[in-house]
Structure 1
Amino acid sequence: MLNLYNAISYVYMMIKKMFLDKILLLIVLLALFTNSVEAQDSSLSQDKDTLVLTIESAMKIALSESPIVKISEKEVVLKKEINKEAYAALFPDINLSGTYSRTIKKQTMAMQFGEETTTIQVGRDNTYNGGMIISLPIFAPALYKTINLTKTDIGLATEKARFSKLDLINQIKKAFYQLLLAQDSYSVLTRSYRQAEANFNIVNAKFIHGTVSEFDKIRAEVQMRNLKPSVVSAHNGVNLAKLQLKVLMGIDANYELVINGGLKEYEMEMFISKENNVYYNLSNNSDLKQLDLSNKLLQNTLKLQQTNFMPTLSASFNYLYMSMNDNFRISSYDWYPYSTFGLSLTIPLYKASNFNKLKQTKIQIQQLALNRLNLERQLNMKISSYLDSMNASSEQLMSNKESVAQAEKGRQIASKRYDVGKGTILELNDSELALTQAQLVYNQSIYDFLVAKADLELVLGE
Structure 2
Amino acid sequence: MTKKNILLALICLLPLQLLAQQLWSLKECLDYGLKNNRSNTVYENEKRAADAQAKEALADYLPKVSVTGTLDDNLKVQQSIIPAGIFGPEPLRVAFTQKYNANGVAQLDQTIYDQSLLTGLKANKFNRQQAELNLQQNQEVIIFNISNAYYQIFVYREQLRLLRENLQTYRKQMDITGLQVQKGVTLKKDLDKVTVNYNNAVSQIRVAESSLTLSENQLKYNMGYPINSQLLIDSTNRADIAVPSNINANSQQFAATNRTDYRLSEINAKLLDIDQQRIKAGALPKLTGYARYGAVGFGSSLGPALTDLNPYSAIGLKLTIPLFDFFKRNAQVSQAKYKSLNAAENLKLDEGKYQLEYENARTKLVKAQSNLESDKRNIELAQSVFRTTDLQFQKGVTDLTDWLNAQNSIKEAQNNYLNSLYSFYQARLDMEKAGGTLKTFYNGL
The reply to whether TM is greater than 0.5 is yes
Distance 1:386 1:83, change over 3 A: same
Distance 1:38 1:268, change over 3 A: closer
Matching residue of 1:107: 79
Matching residue of 2:205: 231
Contact 2:25 2:233 (8 Å CA) reproduced: yes
Matching residue of 2:135: 161
Mean Cα deviation higher: 304-313 or 273-282 = 273-282
Alignment of 1:264-303 (within 5 A): 269-274=243-248, 277-303=251-277
**Stretches of structure 1 lacking an aligned partner (at least 5 in a row):** 1-26
Contact 1:286 1:461 (8 Å CA) reproduced: yes
CA RMSD of aligned residues (A): 2.8
Q: Secondary structure at the match of 1:101?
A: strand
Q: 2:303 aligns with which of 329, 349, 354?
A: 329
Give 1:53 shift: 1.8
Mean Cα deviation higher: 313-322 or 435-444 = 435-444
Q: 2:157 aligns with which of 175, 179, 183?
A: 183
> Partner amino acid for 1:168?
I
Q: 2 CA distance for matches of 1:272 and 1:355? A: 60
Q: 2:372 aligns with which of 366, 390, 397?
A: 397
Contact 1:283 1:460 (8 Å CA) reproduced: no
Matching residue of 2:89: 116
Contact 2:249 2:366 (8 Å CA) reproduced: no
Count how many residue pairs are aligned between Structure 1 and Structure 2: 432
1:446 matched to 2:421? The reply is yes
Contact 1:418 1:428 (8 Å CA) reproduced: yes
Matching residue of 1:354: 329
Contact 1:267 1:446 (8 Å CA) reproduced: no
Give 1:238 shift: 0.6
Q: 2 CA distance for matches of 1:93 and 1:81? A: 18
1:213 matched to 2:187? The reply is yes
Matching residue of 2:401: 426
TM-score (norm 1): 0.86
Distance 1:272 1:100, change over 3 A: same
Mean Cα deviation higher: 103-112 or 165-174 = 103-112
Q: 2 CA distance for matches of 1:95 and 1:207? A: 103
Contact 1:109 1:122 (8 Å CA) reproduced: no
Matching residue of 1:241: 215
Give 1:85 shift: 1.1
1:54 matched to 2:21? The reply is no
Matching residue of 2:384: 409
Mean Cα deviation higher: 443-452 or 58-67 = 443-452
TM-score (norm 2): 0.89
Q: Identity of counterpart residues, as a percentage?
A: 18
Q: 1 CA distance for matches of 2:249 and 2:311? A: 87
Distance 1:127 1:36, change over 3 A: same
1:91 matched to 2:65? The reply is no
CA deviation profile, 1:126-175 (whole Å, cap 9, x unmatched): 22112321111111112222222233222222212211111121111111
Contact 1:146 1:304 (8 Å CA) reproduced: yes
Matching residue of 2:51: 80
Alignment of 1:24-39 (within 5 A): 31-37=5-11
1:378 matched to 2:353? The reply is yes
Contact 2:102 2:305 (8 Å CA) reproduced: no
Q: 2:315 aligns with which of 334, 341, 345?
A: 341
Structure with the higher fraction of residues in helix conformation: 1
Distance 1:122 1:257, change over 3 A: closer
For the pair shown, which has the larger CA radius of gyration, 1 or 2? 1
Give 1:264 shift: 6.9
